[in-house]
A = this chain, B = another copy of it.
């Protein structure tokens, strides 16, 4: 079975309040794609966050003493650090230029996913605006999924992704931060391999694998291609959630 990833072209710049589902349906139409059962739409976090108005103007933020102290140590704007801390459950590591946290959504990432680049703030100093992750990316994905399913009559998955660094490897890769209608983790426990052995590897992070694949075609500077249509996702669609992918803290050997 072939896996095909098609970035949707000419998605307009997204503004707070925009209706992503309608914008995606139009882009699919322009691309000549009719949605089919099993298709997945992958959305860059930025457009979801912008549509949901997750913009903060740093001039409205008062840094706590903790943010001032951490900003000093990491050479970051204390107001930005304040926003990062509000989005985090815990600070795991810091060094100049870098703050690694457990995000309030449960995953580990740099700067709580708070993004300073590429933020739309009309009529203001662009430098003052930052963009936070969606409040509940699983719910955001579910909302877009329902609209696309109603419009198409197809059973679909929707995946929201961001670019994360890794502990031991250089370079960011696309990772799932929210999903609806597709598995996060696929449990292969008990499937015999070709020789009848039970596989020792039991679980595959299929939503993260798809996130990485979609990230590859989105590029990084390409705000023009923040939506990717996927055909041939090789796992059965089902209800899924980000929580499947989060390692419980008691199993975490690297925190």
Which residues of A are at the interface with B, using a C-beta cutoff of 8 A?
1-7, 13, 93, 95, 98, 100, 107-108, 115-120, 126, 163, 166-175, 184-186, 188, 191-195, 197-201, 203-206, 208-213, 215-217, 219-221, 223-224, 232-234, 244-247, 252-255
Contact = CB atoms under 8 A, between A and B. Distances in A.
Contacts of A126: 195, 197
B170 A167 contact: no
A221 to B, nearest CB: 5
Q: How many copies of this chain sit in the oligomeric assembly?
A: 2
Nearest to A115: B200
B3 A171 contact: no
22 contacts: A4-B4, A95-B253, A107-B168, A116-B200, A117-B195, A118-B195, A126-B197, A166-B166, A166-B205, A169-B205, A171-B208, A173-B212, A201-B220, A204-B220, A208-B212, A209-B215, A209-B216, A210-B213, A210-B216, A212-B213, A213-B213, A219-B234
A108 B168 contact: yes
A223 B199 CA distance: 12
A224 B195 CA distance: 12
B170 A247 contact: yes
Contacts of A95: 253
Contacts of A195: 117-120, 126
A246 to B, nearest CB: 7
B208 A173 contact: yes
